[in-house]
Chain A
Amino acid sequence: MGQENRRVLNSLGRSVPTFIDGLGAFDPYRGPWSRLEGGHERTHFAPPLKGRMPQGSKVTPSLRQAIEASGLQSGMTVSFHHHLRNGDALLMAVLNECEAMGIADLTVAPSSLTDAHEGVADLVRRGVVRQIHTSGVRGAVGKAISRGEVEVPVVIRSHGGRARAIEEGSVVIDVAFLAAPACDPQGNMTGALGPSGCGSLGYAQTDARHARHVVAVTDHLVPQPLRQVSIPQYLVDQVVVVESLGDASKIATGAARITRSPVDLKIAQDAYRLIAASELLAPAVSFQVGAGGASLAVAAFVRDHMRQKGIKGSWGCGGITGYMVQMLEEGLFEALYDVQSFDAAVCQSLARNGNHIEIDQSWYANPLNRGCVVHNLDVVVLAALEVDVDFNVNVMTGHDGVLRGASGGHCDTAAGAKLAIVVAPSFRGGVPSILDRVQTVVTPGETVDAIVTERGIAINPRRKDLAEAARAARLPVKEIADLKKEVEALTGVPERAEPDSDRVVAVVEYRDGTLIDSVFQVR
């Protein structure tokens, strides 16, 4: 079996490979800024410049003909974006077509894998897919990887880390198949229009600029000129028209609602109070929240605060929800930076509001470009599967050790923001969320300022100023070890099965490309 030759302990005491057959050499994680502080500089990978004769057509009649014309062969790398969420049918359609054409051993490098991509597990078993680079893995694919069914370890990257890897050429995309909710015959495309409208195409923009060959696939071909262009024609080789890009009901999701769970609301309220105590909730604040229960609810409290005090923020960013759009349209922000729209309710805003700005993956979070949006965040509120007493956060593996999450922008925003708050219920399903040591580190505790649970707020000892402010505001501040004990008195102490540390099934890259943790085969 192709396996890593050697492993070392990184600065968090996690065992990570220094070389992986099929992937090459890796450096261990040495702290959130180890590469930036060294004045890291790399050559920017560039795809070939290609010319076309005038007056030709880019429209190819079928996916199969497009794959043939792209020159895709066994062993190459293909990429996709996951802006169509759980409704995407393109990734599976392309890979199934590849199988029918006898193309195998592909490296698949989507911006993430969603519930729509369960079939990838079978494609691995049938040899169509040999390697996977992704931000998230769920369901059957996560199980297959965790059982060791993918021979070469899967590389998990954050959004910023993926942009970095593509721009520096660590991941070289041979053919990008980009679902285009609206596209003209020259390949100008947008995600803001069309029956499969999904909002921003931020991740796809990065692929379009770096892939050797770009295929736009659309179910809504419009005459040139398309008025709103997310990806311009000069980056696109072919345009294919298909009947449908996927399941419209899962693409065109309605706006996420604020949770009604009392536990989540209590957590959100305390998180909001902590933000207020930090004094960052001032004019020109910049802000990001996730779409999950407690984190989105924080936005509701922040919104009330801003309206009452007449505070106008500067910008919101990230995965954008309908709720953030509402705040934009109420004038609570000057602008939104949208790399990914969490609900399709955002589409109209992207088409209508000039201050709803679509940004690419590198602009959003690449730590090694000349300045990404998340590096100017004031406040970010993030969810977690589990946290530990060193404030490390796991959003990747469940308590059985199986991959079932997504790295996303978690470590990018935590590193960039002045105040990074992690919200989590103190236990889920009777299992405590605070551990001595998380199973998998995605976001290092060095970049997490506070953990808010319904039973109290733990503040990173590095942030004495924040602890002082929180205590002055009479917030329920507790030592994280005490909070952990308090929860365990209710739930008991779980005994986890140790994974098989002989076999690395996935590696977790920190945003700068160093390895922050390994995921081991489950027994």
Chain B
Amino acid sequence: MIVQVAQAGTLESSDCLVTVSPAPGLELEWRGPSASLFAGRNRSLVETVLAEKGLEGAKIIVQDQGALEVTLRARIGTALDRARKGANR
């Protein structure tokens, strides 16, 4: 369970800004010009990262500036790590 609000990433093109906050289940908000093109992939990508971190829920907002999958994964993972208790820098 994450306990605080945290962010990772930037608004540079080809990057993304991920904001996470506590929530019992997964609440996903994906913003950006290609959000609808990758709707299915985005959901499964977030679910995978959550599972890897052993988390059941979080509110996740992704402002996607055209990031590649590796970037998205890394930014979401880092934001979740930072939102865990004591992990916030």
Contacts and interface: CB of A to CB of B under 8 A. Distances in A.
Interface of A: 399-400, 427-431, 490-497
20 contacts: A400-B36, A429-B13, A429-B34, A430-B38, A430-B66, A430-B68, A431-B34, A431-B66, A490-B68, A490-B70, A491-B68, A492-B38, A492-B41, A492-B45, A494-B34, A494-B37, A495-B37, A495-B40, A496-B37, A497-B36
Contacts of A428: 66
A491 B69 contact: yes
B51 interface: no
> Which one of B38, B67, B70 has the greatest number of beta carbons of chain A within 10 Å?
B38
Contact of B14 (A430, A493, A497): A430
Interface of B, secondary structure class, is loop
B67 A430 contact: yes
Interface of B: 13-14, 33-34, 36-41, 45, 64-70
Contacts of A430: 14, 34, 38, 64, 66-68
A495 B39 contact: yes
Given A400-B36, A429-B65, 14 more contacts: A399-B34, A429-B13, A429-B33, A429-B34, A430-B38, A430-B67, A431-B66, A490-B69, A491-B68, A492-B41, A494-B34, A494-B38, A495-B37, A495-B41
A496 B64 CA distance: 17
A497 B64 CA distance: 19
A400 B38 CA distance: 12
Nearest to B45: A492
Contacts of A431: 34, 37, 66
Nearest to B36: A497
A428 B65 CA distance: 11
B78 to A, nearest CB: 18
Nearest to B41: A492
Contacts of A427: 68
Nearest to A430: B66
A404 to B, nearest CB: 12
Contacts of B68: 427, 430, 490-491
Contacts of B65: 429
A334 B20 CA distance: 63
Nearest to B13: A429
Contacts of A429: 13-14, 33-34, 65-66
Contacts of A492: 38, 41, 45, 69
| 7 closest A-B pairs by CB | A429-B66, A430-B66, A494-B37, A492-B41, A490-B68, A431-B34, A492-B69
A430 B39 CA distance: 13
Nearest to A491: B68
Contacts of A491: 68-69
Nearest to B64: A430
Contacts of B67: 430
